[in-house]
A and B are shown apart, each in its own frame.
Chain A
Amino acid sequence: MSIKLDGVSYAYNVGTPAENVALDGVSLVVERGEWLSIVGHTGSGKSTLAQHLNLLLSPQSGTVSVDGELVQIGTKAARGLRRKVGLVFQYPESQFFAETVRDEIEFAPSNWGVKGDDLKSCVDEAVSASGLDPALLAANPFALSGGQRRRAAIASVLAMRPEYLVLDEPTAGLDAAGIRDLTGMLSDLRERGMAVVQVTHDLGVALERSDRVLALERGRAVAEGTPEEIASYLAENPVKGLLLPPCASFAHRLRSRGINVPLTSGAAAIAEAVEKARAVMR
């Protein structure tokens, strides 16, 4: 069970002087039960790529297939896709349209005929997973603070109970506790078999929490692999816009001096590995 993009290219304003290639032959596979992070400089094509995963944009060349089936805009498979693939936008405001937060969250499931207690439990679950204060359900989404809007947007997509969850910069605007809760929740969802795709500028989270990382540069996939592989790649090859986060960079420098420590597991794991290496030496 997977989403597969094969050689996808996309340009904005085709045939005008403002033509602008945003994706240039990108291929990727997202399996159920894994967490893929997409990283890259400002304008590298991440949001454009994210919108191909639920066919909000359709490739000008290349193909998108879901669970083994080729999908094209306008087909039944494409309409089914909107239900399977939930997308949280980069700016939460761009997905709000309802008068209250509750209407916002209920919209998709009630549209699909979920009612009564089922609808209630659907909403309750999404609200608690997103960390949204239930007292805000009656509020207008535009009367929320930035981080509260982010949580409401995430809740409204979780309420769809998607099989593939795509989040575009979901940690932007969240406080530290919100980021810890969100990453914990994404890990849980992945354990339960959901596919998680996270577009992010937070390389620390991408390297420490996800299973695989894809790096984009000017619309092309320049590197793809496990967090370890991507961290080594970034340490050796400059990629526009990206900097190795402090722990990974420290670990890489230790390695180049012959002390074998993990690149992507954070400060405690690095210290533990150094301690072990010392014990062996003695």
Chain B
Amino acid sequence: MDQVPIFDVKGAVYSYNETGPPALDGVDLTVMPGEWVAVLGANGSGKSTLAKVCNALLVPAQGACFSLGLDTSDPGNAGAVRQGVALVFQNPDDQIVASVVEEDVAFGPENLGLPSGEIERRVDRALELVSLTDLRKRGSYSLSGGQKQRLALAGALALEPKALVLDESTSMLDPDGRRSFLGCLGELNRLGMTILQITHAVEDIMFSGRIVVLGAGRVLWDGRQHGFWDGKYREFGFSEPPELALYRELASRGLIDPLTAPRVDDMLEALCL
């Protein structure tokens, strides 16, 4: 009861320039501590803009954004907001600041003025979480595309933030790497971290408790997985998860009984009788 929302966006409007429609056109979004929210939407719908508003990098021209209970329009709050809300950018190059991997990860904790033992602990843990320990002495700019993305994630995790805002931060991971990173997010979420995850990938969405869809700078849908995959997803142009496609194809041909075969293993058993 009476918990302070992690993000409380109220009627936020944001424009990059005077011409054309605004990037955010009256967005309302309240995210409570411990939630894992997937933010979807077509290209150009305002997702990255919303991420920057949540992190106090951009301030709404109309409406307001409270992050961790702090009004982001007050420049005095920006430091505290960015300390508690870590944003991982869409392009990791926008975020890499130091020339050696482990120094780059240490940059955030150093800025927080933490003692050196604590910095070391956080760097080790963050590198381990994204499987980058082997490359800790490597030059940051000599990494492959996916390795850079892991570095950007490690930098955010080392802040041990209250909330993590991920802007398509798994787009360059290999299938196995994506799955293990999602497992790691699941663990952090269970420990109480709030996650706002912008993504186009169906695999990512399956883990979040809530789905928000943006379109032309507005919230088109805000609800649970269940209602979304019932058919709403089609309206927004999304592809269904392959497991669901299999299930529907098999059920529509009467090959499985929808009631007795809700999982992949059940479907297999039903077909192999």
A contacts, CB < 8 Å to B: 12-13, 18, 20, 40-43, 47, 90-91, 93, 133, 135, 143-148, 150-151, 168-169, 172-180, 201, 203-204, 240-243, 245-247, 250, 253-254, 257, 259, 266-268, 270-272, 274-275, 278
Contact = CB atoms under 8 A, between A and B. Distances in A.
Interface stretch (B27-35, B57-65, B121-129, B246-254): B246-254
Nearest to B177: A42
A243 B176 contact: yes
B235 interface: no
Interface core residue of B139, B174, B242 (most chain A CB under 10 Å): B174
B91 A203 contact: no
A183 to B, nearest CB: 11
Interface residues of B, number: 51
Interface string B86-128: 0000110100000000000000000000000000000000000
A18 B142 contact: yes
Contacts of B142: 12-13, 18, 20
B238 A241 contact: no
A274 B250 contact: yes
Interface stretch (B40-48, B71-79, B218-226): B40-48
A273 to B, nearest CB: 11
Nearest to A93: B91
Contact of B44 (A18, A147, A179, A250): A147
B8 interface: no
Given A18-B138, A91-B91, A172-B171, A148 B264 contact: no
B168 to A, nearest CB: 6
A139 B166 CA distance: 26
Interface stretch (B144-152, B154-162, B184-192): B144-152
Interface string B260-273: 00001001100110
B43 A145 contact: yes
